[in-house]
Amino acid sequence: MCIDFSVRGKHVLITGGTGGIGGAFAEAFMAAGAHVTIVDIAPPRSELPAGLKFEQVDLCDDDAVAALGARTARMDVVIHCAGRAALDQEYSPIVFNQIVNLHLTGALRLANAFRPHLKASKGCIIHIASMTSYFAAPYAPAYGAAKTGIMSLTRTLAVEFAGDGIRVNAIAPGWIDTPLTKVVQHDMPEMNRQIVERLPFGRWNTPDELAGLAVFLASPASSILTGVTIAADGGYSIT
Ligand SMILES: NC(=O)c1ccc[n+]([C@@H]2O[C@H](COP(=O)([O-])OP(=O)(O)OC[C@H]3O[C@@H](n4cnc5c(N)ncnc54)[C@H](O)[C@@H]3O)[C@@H](O)[C@H]2O)c1
């Protein structure tokens, strides 16, 4: 038996690719021989390595996401990593809708735009969920609702897209050191202390530590997996 962990030659689209987790995923897939396109509302902070493509797209814009799908010839893997949190402001219904629109409706927009490509390639979708998919998030109510919704959408799309040969899974990261979480590490000392104390290894995780799971979920070796959300949390959820 030879288990195939390869993503060499696959075309991979990563939203939020200018950010911490999306950026680490882009590096990992490129190192594994994939053709990577990152999509983000923000331009890259430094010059892109040769071969890495960038598309500036707002994932909240129906037409822009549909147009991205229309101008893309081939895609094997779509990873929805774009995200943001507005913390206390999320108790405003307007802001609540904006956050859900990006994380959850954005996932649906991408799935619709790339379904034909993924049907042709027998490809897969990877969503990014969160520990707030499982636990209450009083500090970010829309973010938590959206991330819980991502688990449901992952199951639903897994069933709906199975007839097209497309797998749909999600990764639920724990506490990862990225620009998104700087605010917790620097400005919320009590919350930071509680997080570190709860983690069995007593430290935040890094984006690179998630990348291997994304590559695995994109490879033939994970063909048995669809509709699941995998906690990749350094043990946060078991304590
Ligand atoms: N860092 C963590 O601890 C953690 C934990 C669980 C889940 N997540 C999730 O992982 C994903 C990546 O987060 P990160 O920590 O790398 O954050 P990050 O802030 O480093 O990256 C997020 C990226 O999303 C982009 N983005 C925001 N709004 C967008 C829009 N409308 N259209 C297109 N792009 C947009 C940003 O420009 C940014 O580059 C997010 O979905 C986040 O919710 C992060």
Q: What is the mean pLDDT of residues 195-202?
A: 97
Average pLDDT over residues 52-66: 98
Residue 83 pLDDT > 90, yes or no? yes
Q: Using 50, 70 and 90 to split pLDDT, how confident is the model at 1?
A: confident
Please provide the CATH number assigned to the domain covering 11-234.
Answer: 3.40.50.720
Mean pLDDT of the 200-224 span:
98
Q: Mean pLDDT across the stretch 78-102? A: 98
For residues 81-92, average pLDDT: 97
pLDDT reading at 185 higher than 90? yes
Model confidence at 154, in pLDDT bands (50, 70, 90)? very high
| Best of 38, 40, 79, 182 for a ligand 1 pocket test (most atoms within 8 Å of beta carbon) | 40
pLDDT over 90 at 168, yes or no: yes
Write the pLDDT tens digit of every residue in 119-143: 999 999 999 999 999 999 999 999 9
pLDDT at 48 over 90: yes
Q: What is the mean pLDDT of residues 163-190?
A: 96
Longest CA pairwise span in the chain (Å): 55
Categorize the per-residue pLDDT at 195 as very low, low, confident or very high, splitting at 50, 70 and 90. Answer: very high
CB-ligand 1 contact for 82 (6 Å cutoff): yes
Burial of 150 (0-12, 13-18, 19+ CB in 10 A): buried
Q: Is the CB of 105 under 6 A from ligand 1?
A: no
Q: With a 6 A CB cut-off, is 175 part of the ligand 1 pocket?
A: yes
- Sketch the domain layout of the chain as residue ranges: 11-234
43 by Cβ neighbours in 10 Å (0-12 / 13-18 / 19+) ranks as exposed
User: Which of 105, 178, 188, 205 maximizes ligand 1 atoms within 8 Å of its Cβ, making it the mutation to test the pocket?
Assistant: 178
Task: Please give the structure tokens belonging to residue 180.
Answer: 């998104």
Residues with catalytic annotation? 143
**Residue nearest atom 1 in ligand 1 by C-alpha distance:** 176
Q: Which residue's alpha carbon is nearest to atom 11 within ligand 1? A: 81
